[in-house]
Homo-oligomer: A and B are copies of this chain.
Amino acid sequence: MSEQVQLVPNNSLLTKTPEEGRQLAVKMARLIIKVTQPDAAVREKLRPVYADDASMLIAIGQTVAIEFATIAAANNYWK
């Protein structure tokens, strides 16, 4: 694992809007995959594997949902 991958963009969970919070959740989920599989060529090869697989798309959705729960709490739900 390359420790140089930045795992939290801007080093903050705070965003201006729910939309930006959701985008952050997607990015943070992807960065864990990047740090676990640092080889860009392998990741590129895996992309169609999960993007064309209903089961994996659902699993990605679960991951993003969990990340977003944390980000939303950090932002007091943008209330």
Task: List residues of A whose CB falls within 8 A of some B CB.
Answer: 1, 3, 6-8, 11-14, 17-19, 21-23, 26, 28-29, 32-33, 35-37, 42, 46, 49-70, 72-74, 77-79
* Interface SS of chain A: helix
Q: Which residues of B contact A7 (CB under 8 A)?
A: 19, 22-23, 26
Q: Which residues of B contact A57 (CB under 8 A)?
A: 33, 36-37, 46
Q: Assuming A13-B77, A26-B32, A42-B52, what are 9 further A-B pairs, CB within 8 angstroms?
A: A7-B22, A13-B18, A29-B61, A33-B58, A33-B61, A54-B56, A56-B58, A58-B63, A70-B73
Bound CA–CA A66/B29 (angstroms): 11
